[in-house]
Structure 1
Amino acid sequence: MVHSEQKAVGSTRSGQPALVAIGVGLAAFVAAGLTAFSGTPIAQALGLPDPGALTTYGLPVVRTLTEIAAVLTVGGLLVAAFLVAPERNGYLDVTGYRALRGAAHAAGCWTLGALLMVPLTVSDGLGRPVTDVLGFSRLVAIVPRLDVATSWLVTAGFALAVFAGCRMALSWGASVVLLAIAVAGLLPVAATGHSAAGGSHDVATNSLMLHVVAAALWVGGLAGVLGLAARRAEAAERLPTAITRFSGLALVCWLVMAGSGLLNALVRIPLADLVGTYYGALILAKTVALLVLGAIGYQQRRRAVAEAAAGRGRPLLRLGSVEVLVMFATMGLAVALGRSAPPVRGVASPSRAEVVIGYDLAGPPTLLRILFDWRFDLLFGTAALVAAGLYLRWVLRLAARGDRWPAGRTASWLVGCAMVVFATSSGIGRYAPAMFSMHMAQHMIMAMLAPILLVLGGPVTLALRALPPAGRDGDPGAREWLQSALHSPLARWVSHPLLALALFVGTYYALYFSGLFEYALPSHPAHLLMLLHFTLTGMLFFWLVIGVDPVPRRLPPVARLGLVFASVPFHAFFGVVLMSSKDVIGREYYGGLALPWVPNLLADQKLGGGLAWASGELPLLIVVVALVVQWSRIDERSARRADRRAELDGDADLVAYNAMLRRMAGGADPSEPPAAGGEGSGSKPGDADPVRPGGVEQRGSGTAGG
């Protein structure tokens, strides 16, 4: 029996590389076959010369293999970081270390594939055979001019960093950081291609980013779980927790993929073109594949997960293997879809604004348009709504068990989330990419007002109270991950007040006065990065100043107030410089939009500088009020602690203090203990007892006592 079980385990383990190899071959065949089957190659549809068979059929194959390597990298890091528990000393156990090594091999393939995609993309973009563009000097001259080739080069840098990190990392914290880097490495390519061109490319790009990240976590995570299931003898204790965690993650990923994929398709192609066009047929085929994967995932959650958690992993392996093959085939289908030209719409020529920012503007930003002309931001708007819902869920969980959570903190968090939605999705967010003044208004809300409200909500404290602890023998969960993050060296480093101050105010000058802002203006991903940077640096700074959550470096109230006032002159001077400058920041970009209601770009910039200078008053008032309230509460808590200590020890400190005063009044050395005759033996008869100022001996919280 034991021999047969070991044989089964060994055969299953040996079957995993074969399964991956079959899936890779299937995905490459689907990508190349559908590309060859297409009657209108994308180069021909765009009026470009034929780059040759090597590029036409080699590019989709290499891209498919590269994307599979990327998702396997993400999957291995996901297993090491969150699906299996590390040792209690913070280092990865054998299972996690094995997953990390597998991620290193996949990251090496990812790096090589991304580098191969650079000349292939250049060849495809220029319509020249790949042999004509090979050469270091040629690539150096051409790659910066092609966004897609540049994005592949950036992706290769991310993949190389992950490969090097996986070869050196041993701790759980390092695996989390590497997972974040790997996920970030998926985004540069997702921000280019079909989604980055044409109308509504902001929505298309945002939806594709969500789609790609969800797919990588789902496909890579499933491959990682199947690897654990194949090693039942080595990972028997880890498998139930890993399966349970991945099951919930897979459901979220499927919902995100379905919603983002549908939205991306509606942006690219009208509903009428789904039938009767090759591009529409590919979209329908991908939709069917996603539905099939959803059905398989449902069966996994219904039967295979429970059986695997009970120690019977064969149903999971059988059904999961089919799911992986369908996933890989779907990835090949997605690559073929990206290589196909969408049907041409018979519409009028788009305006300049629609070409540059992805949508039209109805007119000048009046008050009514700012308040009611909304365009929902798929990334920041969704994140704010999810954060608000999760916060309320934790509050209700505390209330259900009888714990109280301050209503003021809840209101502060919800208003902060509303400010994020308003800054990114209202008329301010709609006009921000087209006008410097509206960009600065959005900047101030995201960097100043929203972070103050969010940190006053105390989300970390709420999470630590609402999330269930793992227990002495349980695997670490979300609560333990959060605690580890708070006590990590990275958290202590970024929470240094001087660093937080430099990031909060110094990046204003580095961004707007160095030429970096002009370079980033035409790029939608760069716009997203700016917003993310404003929000994170603002939250970091105000977390140290007025945050109610635990801080690795707790500052006294006076130091916090000094940190706030140290930042005020920098903000004021920044606004003054903008108002007094004679040079227009981003003249070429804003001038190219040619908005009729912005005839004077310098006047619009001065308005933005005025907003930057004046908008700091309300946040500063909120910060000062919060500091005063927190300071008073610190004094109240200190007084209560002193009262409780006095009740427990009979006010020993005050008794010793009065005894010292008596000895001093009697001429005795205060350092000597009192004589055996009593604590007042050093005083003369009839002398009044020396007491603290006020005439009575003070005890406890200020009442006289005998």
Structure 2
Amino acid sequence: MLRISRIAGPALLIVIAFVVVVTGLRFGGGAEAPILLDPGAVVRWGLPISKLFVNLGLSATIGALMIAIFAMSPKRDEFTLTLDFAAAGAAVWAVASAFTGFFTFLAVRNQPIDLSSAFGDVLASFLTVTELGQAWLATVLIAAAVTVLCFAVRKMSALVFVLVLAVAGLIPMALQGHSGGTEDHDAATSAIYLHLVFAALWLGGLLAIAIARSALGKERLAIVLRRYSSIALVSFIVVAASGYVSAEIRVENLTNLLSPYGILVLVKVFALIVMGLFGAVYRNYAIGRLEASPRKERGWFWWIVTAELGFMGLASGAAAALAATPTPVPEIVAADLPDSSPAAYLTGSPLPPPVTAGNLFTMWSFDLIWVLICAFAIFFYLAGVWRLHKRGDSWPVHRTVFWVLGMLLLFYITNGGVNVYEGYLFSMHMLGHMTLGMMIPVLLVPGAPVTLAMRAIAKRTDGSRGAREWILLIVHSRYLAVIGHPLIAAGIFVVSLWVFYYTPLFRWATTDHVGHEWMIIHFLASGYLFVQALIGVDPTPHRTSYPIRLLLLLGTMAFHAFFGLALMTGSGLLLADWYGAMGWDTGVSALEDQRIGGGIAWSVGEIPTIALAIAVAIMWRRSDGRASVRYDRKAERDGDAELDAYNDMLAKR
């Protein structure tokens, strides 16, 4: 019975997903023949079905890799079995992506299949020239590479990079499909990407546990399941939030929920709610019973897993059908926007109202990625503080205040008025950059998140690596020892500023959503490393003397001020075909706005510089005070023997 229940879960997932996608295509009209240029029934049905297997394959890969890295012990067979399952999932992902890319080519080009060289030339041109073809070619290559690496790599630290590669393989998929109207493209892309990643963690993690059941054993099941439940809870929140954003963009109002697309959305919502209830059963009932009697076989538990996998199949099939179903809200290209200004053509969005203090604090352009990052960062930090409080340990209040304020400021910069205007005005872009690289790290670093994690997260003893072990590994890694050295951190902070603005990186970060996200991460991380080297509380392999820290601060800020002056006095416009072509009558020319940005780079940078200098001076004074107290106590214990020895040495000389 137990063997049947283990096999039934994955089988039920595939069967239900297949039935639902076929039914959804018939209901929503996703496989109906177009009036003109019908690619044929094989393509119309094969494309969404192949996408279904792409989703299942990538879910198995990403979920299994995460479970292996976060929950499994490399000393046990469970680890090897989970990685083998990840490799199998990656192989399915690669093959299904190849079929999807080929079906997409047939659907777009409407080419009859033949073996002539002309057909091959057209296919090669599609895969190497068009964005859609390049996306699927990249997906196939990444999935194939992940397949090989899952078989070849068995070291847990190296597997992290395999997981990162697999997650990066979802970016091309997120940039295509239903991405919303032009105005909502960035928000839709972020929502799709988050939805793909965390749905894969949720579905693939449960599949990996089901497949590795024979190697887990009765005692290990509850342990691994509790670790998976934490991943599943976070995944449920992210999938629900990203699903809501996607639905709001494509459905827009309650009336459209009665459209075929809206009905399929409701099916996914129903499946999500039921899967959330399953998660509640796991956390509040099933895991406790398994821990209470681990040696007793729990056949009922596997039937619960089977039922949940069935509902995951329902959600997967509905998602594949939705990807092929016309949305009730049409996708609007820039040329059709009511605002016909050059800015609308460049950014895909209508011009915002003029910049005022009120608009900066009342207008919002939400980026779901950073909304969730800030929310989870505050929640887990407060949860760690609460855990310390429950066991009677103290945690300085000012550290909590600094961390929360830093995250709130990060939330505003990535979602508030600055984010609204930075695509149109260089000065607003520079204000956001300076805040990310200097102000926010000055607030976050005193929060000492690593120290809190070390005290609040339980240590593992079974050879696996949880959050505590991974954080310690990163903190003590050679890579962080190099880039975290005060001189290197200061160099990165200064050099990246010049390299970014005077190379194609600036264009990429301004015109591309992926580049914009990279920019935020890079400047936030480089600023954090620099501030950590100066006033960090968390453990670090390098502790520089306080005079050297002050010299580093002053030298770095001198280069920073020189950069601001270069912008203020420059006669050339950065990204002239972007900032100089907005056609926005603000009363200030693009070059003058760039000079204002240079002034912001110079002046805004002085505020955190002063704060850092004061902080270093205070820490220096306290360090000298502690050293003096230690010396006085030592003198009291040994009768000031060190001073007597020194006086004797002088007397002999």
Corresponding residue for 2:438? 448
Corresponding residue for 2:624? 635
1:549 lines up with 2:534 in the alignment: no
Corresponding residue for 1:228? 212
Corresponding residue for 1:330? 315
- Counterpart CA distance in 1 for 2:117 and 2:351 is 41
Of 570, 577, 601, the residue aligned with 1:612 is: 601
Corresponding residue for 1:697? none
Q: Closer, same or farther in 2 for the Cα pair 1:556/1:595, shift >3 Å?
A: same
- Counterpart CA distance in 2 for 1:556 and 1:194 is 55
- Counterpart CA distance in 2 for 1:370 and 1:468 is 43
Contact 1:73/1:103 (CA < 8 Å) preserved in 2? yes
Of 63, 70, 75, the residue aligned with 2:58 is: 70
Contact 1:42/1:339 (CA < 8 Å) preserved in 2? no
Corresponding residue for 1:56? 44
Corresponding residue for 1:305? 287
- Counterpart CA distance in 2 for 1:623 and 1:449 is 10
Of 83, 86, 91, the residue aligned with 1:108 is: 91
Cα deviation, 1:560-596, whole Å, max 9, x if unaligned, reads: 3333334234323333333344443333334564333
Q: Closer, same or farther in 2 for the Cα pair 1:372/1:219, shift >3 Å?
A: same
Q: Closer, same or farther in 2 for the Cα pair 1:548/1:139, shift >3 Å?
A: farther
1:24 lines up with 2:9 in the alignment: no
Contact 1:51/1:124 (CA < 8 Å) preserved in 2? yes
Q: Closer, same or farther in 2 for the Cα pair 1:43/1:592, shift >3 Å?
A: farther
Q: Closer, same or farther in 2 for the Cα pair 1:575/1:129, shift >3 Å?
A: farther
Which residue type is aligned with residue 312 of structure 2?
M
TM-score by length of 2: 0.88
Q: Closer, same or farther in 2 for the Cα pair 1:346/1:52, shift >3 Å?
A: closer
What is the Cα deviation at residue 222 of structure 1? 0.7
1:82 lines up with 2:70 in the alignment: yes
What is the Cα deviation at residue 164 of structure 1? 4.1
Corresponding residue for 2:173? 189
- Counterpart CA distance in 2 for 1:148 and 1:346 is 17
Q: Closer, same or farther in 2 for the Cα pair 1:474/1:34, shift >3 Å?
A: closer
1:209 lines up with 2:198 in the alignment: no
Which residue type is aligned with residue 77 of structure 2?
V
* Stretch moving more, 19-28 or 439-448: 19-28
- Counterpart CA distance in 2 for 1:207 and 1:182 is 18
Contact 1:363/1:597 (CA < 8 Å) preserved in 2? no
Cα deviation, 1:602-641, whole Å, max 9, x if unaligned, reads: 2222222222232211121122112111222222222233
* Stretch moving more, 35-44 or 243-252: 35-44
Which residue type is aligned with residue 202 of structure 1?
D
Which ranges of structure 2 fall in alignment gaps of 5 or more residues?
none
- SS of the aligned residue for 1:585 comes to coil
1:532 lines up with 2:514 in the alignment: no
- Counterpart CA distance in 1 for 2:325 and 2:569 is 51
Which residue type is aligned with residue 252 of structure 2?
P
What is the Cα deviation at residue 152 of structure 1? 3.1
Corresponding residue for 1:406? 396
Q: Closer, same or farther in 2 for the Cα pair 1:134/1:580, shift >3 Å?
A: farther
Cα deviation, 1:508-564, whole Å, max 9, x if unaligned, reads: 333322223224433223212211221112112222222111112332323333333
What is the Cα deviation at residue 480 of structure 1? 3.2
Q: Closer, same or farther in 2 for the Cα pair 1:661/1:161, shift >3 Å?
A: farther
- Pairwise mapping of residues 263-274 of structure 1 onto structure 2 (< 5 A)? 263-274=245-256
- SS of the aligned residue for 1:220 comes to helix
1:239 lines up with 2:197 in the alignment: no
* Stretch moving more, 125-134 or 283-292: 125-134
What is the Cα deviation at residue 298 of structure 1? 3.4
Which residue type is aligned with residue 612 of structure 1?
A
What is the Cα deviation at residue 24 of structure 1? 3.3
Q: Closer, same or farther in 2 for the Cα pair 1:141/1:251, shift >3 Å?
A: same
Of 411, 427, 450, the residue aligned with 2:417 is: 427
- Counterpart CA distance in 1 for 2:602 and 2:32 is 50
1:175 lines up with 2:155 in the alignment: no
Contact 1:81/1:179 (CA < 8 Å) preserved in 2? no
Contact 1:409/1:458 (CA < 8 Å) preserved in 2? yes
Corresponding residue for 2:552? 563
- Counterpart CA distance in 1 for 2:18 and 2:379 is 41
- Counterpart CA distance in 2 for 1:83 and 1:350 is 52
1:296 lines up with 2:278 in the alignment: yes
Contact 2:9/2:305 (CA < 8 Å) preserved in 1? no
- Counterpart CA distance in 1 for 2:531 and 2:117 is 51
Of 95, 106, 114, the residue aligned with 2:78 is: 95
Contact 1:381/1:421 (CA < 8 Å) preserved in 2? yes
- Counterpart CA distance in 2 for 1:369 and 1:609 is 22
Which residue type is aligned with residue 375 of structure 1?
S
- Counterpart CA distance in 2 for 1:597 and 1:181 is 44
- Higher Cα Rg, which structure: 1
What is the Cα deviation at residue 444 of structure 1? 0.9
- Counterpart CA distance in 2 for 1:565 and 1:192 is 47
- Counterpart CA distance in 2 for 1:630 and 1:512 is 34
* Stretch moving more, 511-520 or 430-439: 511-520
What is the aligned-residue RMSD (CA, Å)?
3.2
- Counterpart CA distance in 1 for 2:642 and 2:371 is 56
Contact 2:67/2:228 (CA < 8 Å) preserved in 1? no
Q: Closer, same or farther in 2 for the Cα pair 1:237/1:125, shift >3 Å?
A: same
Contact 2:387/2:456 (CA < 8 Å) preserved in 1? yes
Corresponding residue for 1:369? 359
What is the Cα deviation at residue 418 of structure 1? 2.2
- Counterpart CA distance in 2 for 1:305 and 1:377 is 35
What is the Cα deviation at residue 251 of structure 1? 2.6
Higher relative contact order (CA 8 A, sep 6+): 2
Q: Closer, same or farther in 2 for the Cα pair 1:594/1:196, shift >3 Å?
A: farther
Q: Closer, same or farther in 2 for the Cα pair 1:31/1:638, shift >3 Å?
A: same
- SS of the aligned residue for 1:604 comes to helix
- Counterpart CA distance in 1 for 2:565 and 2:128 is 36
Corresponding residue for 2:143? 159
Cα deviation, 1:422-449, whole Å, max 9, x if unaligned, reads: 2122211111122222111111111111
What is the Cα deviation at residue 198 of structure 1? 3.4
Q: Closer, same or farther in 2 for the Cα pair 1:40/1:411, shift >3 Å?
A: closer
1:117 lines up with 2:100 in the alignment: yes
Of 621, 641, 645, the residue aligned with 1:656 is: 645
- Counterpart CA distance in 1 for 2:117 and 2:370 is 40
1:198 lines up with 2:188 in the alignment: no
- SS of the aligned residue for 2:212 comes to helix
Q: Closer, same or farther in 2 for the Cα pair 1:550/1:154, shift >3 Å?
A: farther
1:314 lines up with 2:299 in the alignment: yes
Contact 1:518/1:585 (CA < 8 Å) preserved in 2? no
- SS of the aligned residue for 1:194 comes to coil
- SS of the aligned residue for 1:231 comes to helix
Which residue type is aligned with residue 270 of structure 1?
E
Corresponding residue for 2:495? 506
- Counterpart CA distance in 2 for 1:438 and 1:212 is 32
Q: Closer, same or farther in 2 for the Cα pair 1:346/1:468, shift >3 Å?
A: closer
Contact 2:181/2:331 (CA < 8 Å) preserved in 1? no
Corresponding residue for 1:679? none
Q: Closer, same or farther in 2 for the Cα pair 1:529/1:54, shift >3 Å?
A: farther
Corresponding residue for 1:284? 266
1:260 lines up with 2:242 in the alignment: yes
Matched residues, percent identical? 35
Which residue type is aligned with residue 43 of structure 2?
T
- SS of the aligned residue for 1:549 comes to coil
Contact 2:261/2:322 (CA < 8 Å) preserved in 1? yes
